[in-house]
């Protein structure tokens, strides 16, 4: 999947989330592996979150949030996925 200039994908299995993205213009690769699949952010009530998780920002799993923050720090943000 290509997201703007980023090429890569995300993955999730119970208890684990991961992302791997490459940006050819930066010649940079961002790989994030997290031992958690619990979402945080402004999640709807039906999505479980940790009691002390952040409540602001998008609702997403940890690896996606971390890779988005790293891409922002590199000056090439990854846009949020389209809403269905």
Task: Tell me phi and psi for residue 26, to 5 degrees.
Answer: -95, -15
Instruction: Tell me: pLDDT of 4 over 70.
Output: no
- What is the reported pTM? 0.80
Write out pLDDT tens, residues 28-74: 999 999 999 998 888 888 888 877 777 778 888 999 999 999 999 99
Residue 80: what pLDDT? 64
Residue pair 3/9 in contact by the 8 Å Cβ criterion: no
């Amino acid at each position: 999947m290509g997201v703007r200039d980023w090429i890569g994908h995300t993955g999730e299995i119970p208890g684990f989330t991961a992302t791997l993205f490459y940006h050819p213009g930066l010649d940079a690769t961002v790989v994030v592996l997290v031992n958690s699949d619990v979402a945080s952010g402004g999640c709807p009530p039906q999505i479980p979150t940790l009691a002390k998780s952040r409540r602001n920002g998008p609702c997403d799993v940890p690896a996606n949030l971390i890779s988005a923050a790293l891409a922002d720090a590199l000056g090439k943000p990854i846009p949020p996925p389209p809403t269905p």
